[in-house]
Every structure is written in structure tokens, then in C-alpha cells.
Structure 1
Amino acid sequence: MLECQVWWARRDDVRPWHVDLLNDTERARRDRYRRDADRDRFTVGVAVTRLAAGALLGVAPQEVPLDRTCPGCGAPHGRPTIAGGPHLSVSHSGDLVVVALTRGGPVGVDVEESSDRLNEGIARQLLASDEAADLRDLGRAWFRQGLLTYWTRKEAVLKATGDGLRVPLTDVRVSAPDEPPRLLSWEGRRDLPGRMTLRTLDPGPGYAACLALIDQPDPVIAERSASPGLADPGGWDAGQ
């Protein structure tokens, strides 16, 4: 049975040698970030992706054939893919970075940090009317965490399909926050609920996270810390 690896790292795991793992396109993108926090999250995400994918492929991290071509415009700012696999997804929020890799099929991962910006305005952009009603039924104490749960479930689904934010989040209906994660419906995509598997991940206090897998009904999911392997240029085995 194929395993889905979920690697957790933190922004402060970044080290100077991680920049050496980036190719020219990735370095140019890194340099365009104005804030140190954004630059560090991007660098850690690339480092984990290249180290973990390199271990799966049996190649050096710098030789992992990551492609960031945007399918819409052809510019190198799209989500990372690897021709021939493994499938991968990257997300970061606050101090956390998460990378998911699997040979089993398309994957999407999302992590979100709880914050004061999770308000009624965000809820209107995110939730269908019945989802909003379900959230209200849970009570105010559930509002922020419930909204985070909805958000990560929907984002993970859209990342798995590759649609991203081109699809309105209100078109994607998922189960209520107090229920196991499921894709219930997607307007115009009736085949997907039966093919999509969602799993709640464990990012720690103050965050919510979800994993979405297509055509992988009984996945083996291994959540691991990437921090030990990011501390030493020759120490990725310690991260496993």
C-alpha cells in the first residue's frame, strides 16, 4: 500500500545552505519576497520538497525536476510538479510549512493559522448558505476554528484537483467542522465526491490542516517532522 508522506517544518528551520538547493527560478522568486518571513517560508518549503522528493527518487535534491510552469500563462509561478511523480503539494501559514508527497495520485494539503481576520466577511466568501447555517448552529465558540476547518478542507480539495482559487470556494461543499472530513458536492463535478479522500492533519495549537487525495480511498498517511533533516546538510535521514 502506497504511503503519503506529510512533512512538517517551521519558518525558523531555515538555514543558509537551503538556498544552495534552489534553482535559478526559485532563487529569483525568493528574492522577490520583501518580507523575511515570506522569504523564509518559501525557502523552507523548497528545501523540504527537494530533500524529501530526492530521497524518494534516489537523486540529489538539486536534481529533482521541479516544474513551476503556470498552466494558464506559462510563467514559472505555478504550483510545483514533478513529471512522472511523486505527486506533491506545499502549504504554509504563520510559522508552519507543510509538504505532502505520494506516488498514489493527486494530492493537496493546506494549513491555516487562526487569526482575527477570520470574520463574517471571510465566511461569506468561503461558505455556501447551508455550511454557514451549520457553523452558526455550532455556536460562537466554534466560529473561528470551524471556519478554519472549512477553509483548509476546501483549499486542500482545490489543490488536489489543481484548480486552486480559479473556482469559487462556495461551489465546493464539505462536511461540517464537527464531522469527519468529506467532500459532499462540487457544482459541475459530480464524479469528485466519490473519488476524494480527506484526512484531518495535526499541525498543533492555533492551526488547522487538511489533506486531500484523489483515487486513494484507503491511504497510509505518515506525518513527520522535517526539522531534524533541515538542520544538517548531510542529515536528511535524521528527518525520516
Structure 2
Amino acid sequence: MAGVQTVTGALWRRVQWWGSTCAKSAKPVKSRNATAMREYSRAGCGIRRRGRGSAGEEALGLARAEARRRGRSDIGFSVADAHALPFPDDTFDVVHAHQVLQHVGDPVLALREMRRVCRPGGIVAVRDSDYAAFTWFPEIPELDEWLDLYRRVARACGGEPDAGRRLLSWAHTAGFTDVSATSSTWCFATPEDRAWWGGMWAERVLKSDMARLALASGGATEGDLRRLSEGWRAWAGERDGWLSLLHGELICRV
């Protein structure tokens, strides 16, 4: 949801899927929103025209700033509960959630809400990672420890870090019958990509909700977290460093 100044390399792979895939699949959907999706996927802020997304106020502040920088005043922003969206039935042509369902307490209920606010003939599109399917080289023990810690902390918070493989099941349970399920990967193998991804996790391991919860629960000590952070920096500095992330993806027609 955060606005950005430039969309290149690894970041572009994070925002291009939903714009391109939904637009290709959205022939029954009103073109003004499909066009807006493509435009805002390029902006990297993941907002539909006249649509809303859920995020913290700090993140929305960045998105609002990006919209102002681009001279756009036709975008709405709000913080909402994915389990009880504050919008009437049949409000939006496209409802999209990228890397969201893995974090909510009841992803099936969230999908039902997304379906409720989507107009007949519209599209609900979701994409989530599957952490258990992450793989990398070289085999750095600290990254194995990081993955185990992340999955434990995520589940302790009521999330599901291996959401990607479960999306189709969740959609069927939510009542969708016309569903196209696919998968894709992100690959980090250039110095730029490794520096971004490895540096991001090196910071998150030390300064994030994950870090605070790991310490509070006794799942890790401050020394453990520093060691995991250094493991990420070591991986990012490897000339042969390579990492791939698997995602589950759905296009659900309403």
C-alpha cells in the first residue's frame, strides 16, 4: 500500500501481477476501473479508482502522499476490518487483496466480504505467499531459523503464513464457484534485489511486530534476532545468492 517514487526491479514484480492479470480477466468489468488498476499498479500503491484498501494510517499516509504527487484526487483511502467491510453490497467492479489473507484471522470470512462488496460480473483477485515453499542458496542456517520463527509467530497471531496453497480451498468455502487458480514466483538474484530483500528482512527481524512478539513470547532473544539479521545480510552479500518465493493466486468471478 505504500507509495513509492520509482518502481523498478524487485518492487515492480510485487505490483505488476494484480494490474496485468485482473485487467486481462476483467472484460465484463467496467473499463474505467480496469484502466485505473493498470495505472495504479505502475504507481506501486495498489489502490483502485474509487476503491479502498486496508492498512495502517502510517502506510496510508505514504499512499496519500504518492497520490498527491501524481495529482490524483479521485482515490479514496480508509482503514477497515477485512471481516466487516464498511461498504454496501455490490459497490466495486474489482476487489483486490495482495499479501493480505495470510494475516487475517478468518480468511474465508474476508473473502465472503470481498465477494459481497463486488458487483455481479466483477472480479475478486487475491494473491498470497506460501512461506514453507520459500527456497534459497547458499544454505545459511540463520535463514532456516528465521523461517521457523516467522511461521511460529505468524500462527501465534492468528495468521497462516502458508496461505498460498490454501487460497483455492478458502475461495470454495467462501462460496465462489468460478475460480481460476494459478501460481507465480518472485526471484531475487541480482545485487539490487538481494540488497533490497535481504536488507528489508535484516531490519524487520530487529524492528517490527514480529521482533516484538518473538521477544515477548520467549521465541527468541535479542541475541538470536541479531544473529538472524546478520544471516540475512550475509545472504544479501553473496555473489551467488538466490532466493525464490512461491505465491498462490486467484481470479474469482462473481
TM-score (norm 1): 0.29
* Bigger helix share: 2
TM-score (norm 2): 0.28
* Bigger strand share: 1
